[in-house]
Amino acid sequence: MLQRLRRFLTAPRRLAELQRAYAELQREARRHAQLIETTTAIVWSANADGKAPQGTTAWSVYTGQTPQEHVGYGWLDAVHPEDQAAAKARWLYSVQHEIPYETEYRLKRPDGTWAHVISRGLPLWSDDGSHILEWAGTVQDITALKHSDQKLQETQAMLVAKERLAAVGELAAAVAHEVRNPLGAIFNALNILRRELEHPLLGVLTEESDRLNRIVGDLLDFARPCEPRFSGESISKVINQALSSVDLGSRGIDVRLELAKDYDQLPMDGRLVRQLLINLFENAAQAMPPVGGRLQIRTERAEEALRLFVTDNGPGVPVHLRERVFAPFFTTKATGTGLGLAVVKRIAESHGGSVLLEQPPPPLGGAQFRVELPLPT
């Protein structure tokens, strides 16, 4: 009787304690729910045998799969086809050996794009540790991280390439200077010999010496620092100056100019842009047939840049070689250093612009180089 009376008297206090404990559990449940909702990762679970129950709302929103489509191994349908086999094999290996799960794969988004994700999971054991009750884990989007890593690798590769080019440039400059001195003596000797006698071999010597001199000039142009001195220049004037330097008319090449009239003045280094154009014109002249060569030079304004097109009717450049034409010392010609287009690229980029090799529209054929130079803001 006394014991029952004691329980009766203490019941309100124990009820209050239970109510406080229940309220605390409710707060913890809400907090965990909020953490799951606000996390950037998708929380998932799986049965002890590795098969997934219905998908969560977060999974459906992220992948576009319905909760029913997620059941079993249906979640694999949202994984990139090339990654499905590896993702499933890694998951089944963890389930079989009862070890933590971690793998990366691409996951389809509702808009059809693919996100790079990392999925991690842990087995949840029974209290006595005898068996696994279920699996729990997360799927974290690492697309931005992947892109950052890729950009870092590209930047590192670019720095290595620039260091190599700098070393090559220094070597080219040293070689060019060493060659130019004896070359000057050869030219002087040839001038004296031409006054003393006539022989067909003198013409061969002169022609080959001129070719060697052009090679030395290309090496020096490539090795010379490219630091533009900007001033207001007329692109039409610079184009005509470059045409005069190359003298395509004497080679029987038909030159057609289509220059935009709405914008002509550009902030540029006229000397460097003239060199860029000379190199493009020479490259086109060497590619075109001896008879019937046509060169089209066209400019147009495009948003914040002036586009300049140089198009020839030569054989063009094979698709698999188009990415390499601007590489130093790469050439498809029997003669030449392969530095002309490398210099073109460097001059364009030094002006904050770019140069691309494109397939010209029909019926032009051949090759088309598009140079973009920024307009003043």
Q: pLDDT digit of tens for each residue in the chain (377 aa)? A: 545 545 444 555 665 666 676 667 666 656 555 544 444 578 899 999 999 999 888 899 999 999 999 999 999 999 999 999 999 999 999 999 999 999 999 999 999 999 999 999 999 999 888 999 999 999 999 888 888 877 778 777 777 666 666 666 666 667 766 777 787 788 788 888 888 888 878 788 887 777 777 777 777 766 666 678 888 889 999 999 999 888 787 778 888 999 988 788 888 999 899 989 999 998 888 888 777 788 999 999 888 889 999 999 888 888 778 878 888 777 766 566 677 888 899 899 989 999 999 888 776 678 899 999 998 87
348 burial type by CB count under 10 A (0-12 exposed, 13-18 middle, 19+ buried): buried
CB 124 within 8 A of CB 100: no
CB 113 within 8 A of CB 97: no
CB 173 within 8 A of CB 220: yes
* pLDDT on residue 369: 93
CB 67 within 8 A of CB 56: yes
Angle at 363 between CA 358 and CA 365, to 5 degrees: 40
Q: Is the bond leading into 200 cis (omega within 30 degrees of zero)?
A: no
Instruction: Tell me the CB-side half-sphere exposure of residue 348, using CA atoms within 13 A.
Output: 24
* pLDDT on residue 107: 94
Cα separation, 348 vs 301, in Å, equals 16
Provide the 3-class DSSP secondary structure of residue 320: helix
* pLDDT on residue 99: 94
User: Residue 80 corresponds to which tokens in the numbers above?
Assistant: 């990139």
* pLDDT on residue 15: 57
| pTM (2 d.p.) | 0.51
